[in-house]
Structure 1
Amino acid sequence: MLKKFSAVAGVIVVGAAIALTGCSDAVEPVTPTYKTNLDKAEIRNSEFGKVFPLHYQTYLRNDEDKIMTEYGGSVPYNKHDNVNPLPKGYKHAQPYLKNLWLGYAFSFEYRAARGHTYAIEDILNIDRINRYSEKGGLPSTCWNCKTTMMPEFIEKYGDDFWKKDFNEFRQAMDVKDHAIGCTNCHEAETMELQLYSEPLKEFLKVQGREWKDIPRNEKRALMCGQCHVEYYFQKPEFGAAQRPVFPWTEGYDPENIYTYYKGHGDSKIKGFEGQFYDWIHPVSQTPMLKAQHPEYETWINGPHGSAGVSCADCHMTYKRLDGKKKISDHQWTSPLKDPDMAACRQCHTDKTPEYLKGRVVDTQEKVFAQLLIAQEVSVRAHEAIRRASEYTGPKSADYDDLMIEAREWCRKGQFFWDYVSAENSVGFHNPTKALDTLAKSQQFSQKSVDAAVRASNFTIAKDLAGDIKTLVPPIMEHSRELMMDPAHLQTHEWLKYLKPFPKAQQVWDGNKRLIPAPEKS
């Protein structure tokens, strides 16, 4: 393989051969280093492809968007739609997502993720970003894990970048050549693993750790942990406004992160003073938390993370594409898509592919069943609070305190459900943590229901009995465009708590303008 790009890249292999004088003298292999002749500021993925054509060939396979596993895959179906078949919906969907995120941009559209090569294209077209306005309605922070251009943005704007509007950068990049790629993990000149994530840099600084001193295997996991994590947008009272922050100082488990969010905010809501929240749910008036995608936090103390098995070991298995040189596969995908289960059989050599796949799917089946239960109890909690807050009869003497308690349990129960829901392994990265988190979610949400029932002197209890799908049907259709139609907001009891958006033309289609930009005064 080296001959194919030796004219472009000079390769210096350090420690290629190690003489062993005995079994006790084994030395850990030294990673090869490279001199690529690429400019250190190079960020275009295609330029790396000229130097590393085989690696680039596997990277382009991230364009695959048609293969599913039992509980996931790369078809971008609507993750709340368990009615329609692929590609619109899928049997293992969660029907209450639009209910639980009502009042927040996630309720407009939430799809299964495609490959990393679609990162820019998909965020440009997602309904969570306002395409009907000059302003996107979300900060530039949303670009943080979508593009190789982040270092340029930070160098140019510093911490002022985060609070800029998302739409300001719609036309700043190539949707493929600047999508998540080579320089998100590698230095252009030497191909050393590099730290590009600003929030991870800050966390390591708080820990007093230097990137150069971190063991290579930990770095291999942190490459993914730059983005596949829970994070939030910082309030200005605590530093640069809208800067992404990893809430890890208390620990990596959902209880630790929830404790972190008990502070670091600007809430003035009674009972939640000083706490962080992402939005207020319009039905229950609860200050809510939206979990992102905590793969790293889930994996780190699971069976594989605890054993030192890195993300790359499973999601970047070695291949021989030229019949000679072994390379890491840069199609970042599920091991379940490989019929041979080669990633798993690197270690589990005594097991058949069928057995290994069965173990994964069995874990996911159990986790997903509990996920659906936790989701439904969370919906019931919001409905209980709604009914208790609108109850006009004789109330409990400690009604106000009980309503605060009900909202606290509702907030916590939904966050614990979302911690597993947003994590992309359906529990497999850490089955024990996933099932424990969902059990606690169900308990917390039920405590919310109980507190709301007590607040109303148990009067609403009979109204909450029965199948939740009858009591509160799933909201199947909801979008920014539908929010402009007052009639749509009368189609569901919960939608009535929203105010319609003003009528507006669509301004953006991806990174193309549909109407002329307003003249600058």
Structure 2
Amino acid sequence: MSRILSAIACCACLGAVLLISGCSDAVEPVTPVYKTNLPKEEIRNSQFEKVFPLHYKTYLRNDESTIMTEYGGSVPYNKHDNVNPLPEGYKHAQPYLKNLWLGYPFSFEYRAARGHTYAVDDIMHIDRINRYDEKGGLPSTCYNCKTTMMPKFIEEHGQDFWAKDFNQFRQALDAKDHTIGCTNCHNAETMELQLYSEPLKAFLEADGRDWNTIPRNEKRSMMCGQCHVEYYFQKKEFGPAARPVFPWTEGLDPENMYTYYKGHGDSTIKGFEGQFYDWIHPVSQTPMLKAQHPEYEMWSNGAHGAAGVACADCHMSYKRLDGKKKISDHQWTSPLKDVNLNACRQCHTDKTPEYLRGRVVDTQQKVFDQLLIAQEISVRAHEAIRRAAEYAGDKPASYEDLMIEAREWCRKGQFFWDYVSAENSVGFHNPTKALDTLAKSQQYSQKSVEAAIRATGFAIAKDLDGDIKQLVPPILNHSRELMMDPEHMKSHEWFKYLKVAPKAPLIWDGQTRVAPAGAAS
């Protein structure tokens, strides 16, 4: 009996030692290995339903497009329209978007994004792509973050794919089966996390990083970082034309990116030689930068990102369906849509949903208030430069230098505003960085106004005083079709810097051709 008791005691001690050891050493979670019996070339989302029915069920919930949070949601309202109610406008819209992007396709249409399952369908209908011409006017680069077809496109067309016209591929993909889905993140055979993003592959290679050695938790966020980032279309002098590039070599903050954009371009504009720009604003003649959606960059050095909280921890929280084991929810959406805020309370267990929601909304309100101020000062900067450029009185000897300075501050101020505006958390991913960026935006844009005023010997100062909404009303309506209407083009002072577009019939309704080839001519 004593031997048996001794053996039991020995096992108990050994178990205790192993338990203590297990608690003291952090262990990298082991990724489940699957054999899906799907070919590695499979890119159709529907084929994954039979292998992962519960995951696919949650993925289909991305079709939801009716639920709003306080500052966002999935109703695709016009993000400049704070006049009309949902679904066309919303109370927390930014009224000057069309003014600030005038002359660039974003001024035609910019809506809140619906779920990822609509990515292909929505880009096929967006007015930013020209549907009144055989050519869409934007490169095929725009497909990069919309579809599982990208590996096939690159395989077939190589690096020439990017510069091909968008409309060339309208009918090459299925709006549902090829929209953002399973193989944007997973290997079809094994479900291992994989990169499909060409620009992220290129950055990691240039940075000397091997995907296979990156910790899995970092990979989880890089899945989102394939697309939820700032990027630009590369100039042909620097590599394959129109290939998307992440401007990260200087760092992930807006100041780093602005420094990066001081090069990597082909500008011959005096004072901006060799710099990159997306378009020239027709009112101020300023070479502008259009920020995309830098969620990854904003999150990376925020409280959650710095603490190792991955995107999926909040936006793909665990669910238990049909009494089965817990799975990652593949409805990629805001945690605020859950009344119980279960994603937040995985960590904040001592806080109520009401408290947590209040903290988020309070942060977003403060950021949004400053966003509106930054937006208005940016508009005032364009108007100041416009008036200074058209000023016919006596000018100081430093007039040209002051105008270059005014345009430089205008470009920088608007980019800093746009960095926060285009980022989809209304600052919550990194409140400190968001507010700091907006404070700098306001300062830079105000410096632009001051430089333009000095360029006229302060003669236009009195003309720029007062409510900006009276000086420059927000543009509520503008589209490709309206741009063909001479009467519409007389409806705003700033429209005189654009040409009336020639009349043309609608050629593409989504992926359906509604006019015969050659109709636009």
**TM-score, normalisation: structure 2:** 0.95
Work out whether 1:386 is the aligned partner of 2:383: no
Matches of residues 22-171 of structure 1 in structure 2 within 5 Å? 22-26=19-23, 27-171=27-171
Deviations 1:216-263 (A, max 9, x none): 000000000000000000000000000000000000000000000000
Distance 2:218 2:74 in 1: 27
Matches of residues 468-483 of structure 1 in structure 2 within 5 Å? 468-483=468-483
Distance 1:514 1:393 in 2: 53
Deviation at 1:324, TM superposition (A): 2.4
Deviation at 1:515, TM superposition (A): 1.3
Could you tell me the percent identity over the aligned residues?
81
Which residue of structure 2 aligns with residue 4 of structure 1? none
Matches of residues 221-236 of structure 1 in structure 2 within 5 Å? 221-236=221-236
Secondary structure in structure 2 of the residue aligned to 1:366: helix
Deviation at 1:20, TM superposition (A): 8.2
Amino acid at match of 2:352: T
Which residue of structure 2 aligns with residue 185 of structure 1? 185
Distance 1:474 1:198 in 2: 38
Matches of residues 325-364 of structure 1 in structure 2 within 5 Å? 325-364=325-364
Amino acid at match of 1:222: M
Secondary structure in structure 2 of the residue aligned to 1:50: coil
Secondary structure in structure 1 of the residue aligned to 2:448: helix
Distance 1:516 1:391 in 2: 49
Deviations 1:309-354 (A, max 9, x none): 0000000000010212110000000000001010110110000000
Secondary structure in structure 2 of the residue aligned to 1:34: coil
Deviation at 1:516, TM superposition (A): 1.9
Distance 1:66 1:23 in 2: 50
Distance 1:289 1:482 in 2: 25
Any stretches of 5+ residues in structure 2 without a counterpart?
1-14
Amino acid at match of 1:397: A
Distance 1:379 1:506 in 2: 32
Which residue of structure 2 aligns with residue 6 of structure 1? none
Which residue of structure 1 aligns with residue 513 of structure 2? 513
Work out whether 1:296 is the aligned partner of 2:296: yes
Work out whether 1:253 is the aligned partner of 2:250: no
Secondary structure in structure 2 of the residue aligned to 1:21: helix
Matches of residues 207-286 of structure 1 in structure 2 within 5 Å? 207-286=207-286
Which residue of structure 2 aligns with residue 399 of structure 1? 399
Deviations 1:430-460 (A, max 9, x none): 0000000000000000000000000000000
Work out whether 1:173 is the aligned partner of 2:173: yes
Number of aligned residues: 502
Deviation at 1:31, TM superposition (A): 1.5
Amino acid at match of 2:262: K
Secondary structure in structure 1 of the residue aligned to 2:425: coil
Matches of residues 409-448 of structure 1 in structure 2 within 5 Å? 409-448=409-448
Deviation at 1:25, TM superposition (A): 2.8
Deviations 1:446-489 (A, max 9, x none): 00000000000000000000000000000000000011112211
Which residue of structure 2 aligns with residue 319 of structure 1? 319
Amino acid at match of 1:168: Q
Amino acid at match of 2:367: V
Secondary structure in structure 2 of the residue aligned to 1:501: coil
Distance 1:465 1:517 in 2: 52
Secondary structure in structure 2 of the residue aligned to 1:370: helix
Deviations 1:382-422 (A, max 9, x none): 00000000000011110000000000000000000000000
Deviation at 1:116, TM superposition (A): 0.1
Distance 1:141 1:19 in 2: 57
Distance 2:370 2:363 in 1: 11
Secondary structure in structure 2 of the residue aligned to 1:190: coil
Secondary structure in structure 2 of the residue aligned to 1:46: helix
Distance 2:228 2:55 in 1: 22
Secondary structure in structure 2 of the residue aligned to 1:460: coil
Distance 1:408 1:28 in 2: 48
Which segments of structure 1 move beyond 4 Å, counting only runs of 4 or more?
none
Distance 1:233 1:338 in 2: 37
Secondary structure in structure 2 of the residue aligned to 1:22: helix
Amino acid at match of 1:167: N
Distance 2:19 2:79 in 1: 56
Deviations 1:20-67 (A, max 9, x none): 822223444312100000010000000011110000000000000000
Secondary structure in structure 2 of the residue aligned to 1:345: helix
User: Larger radius of gyration, structure 1 or 2?
Assistant: 2
Secondary structure in structure 1 of the residue aligned to 2:461: helix
Distance 2:28 2:303 in 1: 24
Distance 2:78 2:37 in 1: 44
Distance 1:183 1:153 in 2: 14
Distance 1:207 1:28 in 2: 24
Distance 2:402 2:16 in 1: 72
Distance 2:18 2:450 in 1: 70
Secondary structure in structure 2 of the residue aligned to 1:280: strand
Distance 1:473 1:427 in 2: 27
Amino acid at match of 1:391: Y
Distance 2:363 2:396 in 1: 44
Secondary structure in structure 2 of the residue aligned to 1:287: strand
Distance 1:302 1:29 in 2: 24
Distance 2:327 2:400 in 1: 62
Which residue of structure 2 aligns with residue 310 of structure 1? 310
Amino acid at match of 1:442: Q
Any stretches of 5+ residues in structure 1 without a counterpart?
1-17
